[in-house]
Amino acid sequence: MKDKRILILFLTIFIDLLGFGIVIPILPMLAKTLAAQTDLPLSPDVSVGLVAGVFSLMQFIFAPLLGAWSDRVGRRPIILISILINALGYFLFGLAGTFYALLISRLVSGFGSANLAAAQAYIADITSPEERASRMGIIGAAFGLGFVFGPPLGGWMFHLGGDNGLFWLGSFSAALCLLNFVLAWFLLPESLSEKSVQKRSPLDTFKGMGKALKLEVISELMVINFLYIAAFSMMNINASILWEEHYGLSKVAIGNIFGLIGVCTAIVQGGLIRHFQRILGLKKMLMIGAPMVAIGLTIMPLPNKENFYLVQVIAVLLLSVGNGMLMPSINSLVSINTPKDIQGQMLGSMQSIGSLARSIGPLFAGYLYLQHFTAPYWMGGLLMLAVWVLALLLSRRLVDAAPKP
């Protein structure tokens, strides 16, 4: 990475996502166990979706607001403050001994994690439209590497910690966030040269979404993004329960599978995305990525125990490549079609709509899992087929912004 700012932003996002990845193998079954010990009007399976959903609900509410604030006060202050809030959320997670305490910890962490729009806007500030897809792919690579090291580390740490595994898990994640804060404080300069003078209220969060849904091309991309993330999140939160209850995997093994997903995602979004963009262009990336994710989701719950790992490796490869094509291309097209002075607000709206999908997807997955353990994955596949149809219709009007080879 020639631009040191990109390198430091990559490290900042990576450390933030490493803390997020650490809790992935533990959170679903922990939520289900605590919910079973609590008098709740929801079943334990649906309660898992509630815990995952409130995290994303906070992002839905606050991502556009933080993105808009970053237009006004700068990207750097928003990123720094959100990192500290994340540290508090993970510390509370380590102390969670009841379902309600776990719920509060995820609310706090959800608010702290609503900073991705500011990070995307930071990249938009310092890159040209031609470079934007590959630069946005760097965020995806940071996500991927967070999944490479986070889930396996979380599974092993929880296992080795014994009765105190949850405390050490939360404390370690909080410490990572504090390290993240120190690096960003000293090494991440402000990227915004001209700050917006417009003042925005919390209601502008939803006004910004309404504005986005009225813009040509962007509105269709918002719908595509919603369906795609809803389908993916149905798998992401439910897979740990599926693998543990139906295939007998340990938390260490679950962490390792998520780590494999992270390896593949990092390779695709960190190295191959620029070649995909140059060879295929953004429109074809949308068209090819959607059916790959659809197939990957559909086959995940199908194998028997004898061929489990073979099928999961195929599914992981399809999901990783498909996800690597979809995420940067959608984000890049939204950024390219958005005026510079509202980049933060529009990308914040994009992130918020994605967070709404992540809050609805796990709840829906919990309900479907009660009906049959394969239902969340088959429904996810159907949603991705809908994404493919919408992308096909959009491609007829969309001017491909990818650079020519």
Model confidence, pTM: 0.76
- Which amino acid makes up residue 377? Y
Query: Residue 403's pLDDT is what?
Result: 42
pLDDT at 382: 95
Give percent of the chain with pLDDT exceeding 90: 18
- Alpha-carbon torsion (74, 77, 80, 81), positive or negative: negative
Q: Is the pLDDT of residue 11 over 80?
A: no
> Distance between CA 327 and CA 318 in Å, rounded?
14
- What are the distances in angstroms from CA 402 to CA 151, 223, 271, 276, 290? 34, 21, 17, 10, 18
In tens, the pLDDT along 77-96 reads 988 998 899 999 999 999 99
Instruction: Return the DSSP state at 198.
Output: -
- pLDDT tens-place string over residues 184-196: 888 888 877 665 5
- Within 8 A by CB and 6+ apart from 304, the residues are none
Residue-range domains of the chain with CATH? 4-186+201-395 (1.20.1250.20)
